[in-house]
Amino acid sequence: MPTVFAYIGSPHGSRSNTYALAKMMLDRLAEKDDAVRCEIFTPAETAVRYCRGCWTCMTKGFCPQDEHDDMAMLRERMENASFIVLGSPVYAINVSGQMKTFFDRLPAWLHTMRLAGKAGVTVATTAGSGLPEVQNYLGMMMASLGVKTVGTLGSYGSLPGHLYDPDGARNDARALADAIYSYVTGERAVTTDEYLEEVFGIMKQKIEAAGEGVLAGDLDYWTQAGYLECSCFADVLEKRKRLPG
């Protein structure tokens, strides 16, 4: 069953503008195909603690904070999803603090392009400024996670529940859902792009240079996944295609 994972980093949860915009796209996907399952998470109902900067995720491959919050569950849902949606309101010309906290809990995944092979969409809303900055940042995070960004959705609004042009936003969201549907179902396979190749090149160099030191957990993943033998991200995608299941 195709499953879409969405994390929307607004403290307003399901009342938020960014949530509303993402939901317009997800509703259209569900309308097109009732086999598509959409899961939306927000900081309003899931707890994500701050990263403590202990490096355990990168050296040993686990996060001590996972015992105390919902991050392990969120990671599992992301791994099992076929499509990823990451959304944030613009706060001070950047993503919200909640969204940044979510990313801060993923360093080992950002070093291992853990979601390689999946496609995704970024979503952002703002009262006026910062939309390109936030879309760009979310896109960089997607590529670092190994996710190919196949679309972006943005709109303008103020207080929760007040998108300035809800009809225009709905039209954009529905058009994007139609455009990405074949990625959600897996009919259309992900291909590499310049961002994914850039991240792969930088990460490979970083992991090889660090050796068995502070990134030992990340090196283990690269070794076991066979990524060290890959010369580019296109090779990683080929390798993943040959995996059973």
Ligand X SMILES: Cc1cc2nc3c(=O)[nH]c(=O)nc-3n(C[C@H](O)[C@H](O)[C@H](O)COP(=O)(O)O)c2cc1C
Q: Please give the residue ranges that form the binding site for ligand X (CB under 6 A).
A: 10, 12, 16-19, 89-93, 125-130, 157-158, 160
Residue (44 or 232) nearer to ligand X, CB: 44
- What's the min distance (Å) between Cβ of 38 and ligand X? 17
Neighbours of 198 (CB within 10 A): 14
- What's the min distance (Å) between Cβ of 152 and ligand X? 15
- What's the min distance (Å) between Cβ of 125 and ligand X? 4
Residue (92 or 209) nearer to ligand X, CB: 92
Please give the span between the terminal C-alpha atoms of the chain, in angstroms, as a whole number: 13
Residue (18 or 112) nearer to ligand X, CB: 18
Enclosing H/E stretch for 151: strand 148-156
- Give DSSP secondary structure letters for 169-235: HHHHHHHHHHHHHHHHHTSS-----HHHHHHHHHHHHHHHHHTTSTTHHHHHHHHHHTGGG-SSHHH
Residue (161 or 213) nearer to ligand X, CB: 161
CA–CA separation, 235 vs 242, rounded Å?
Answer: 11
- What's the min distance (Å) between Cβ of 244 and ligand X? 40
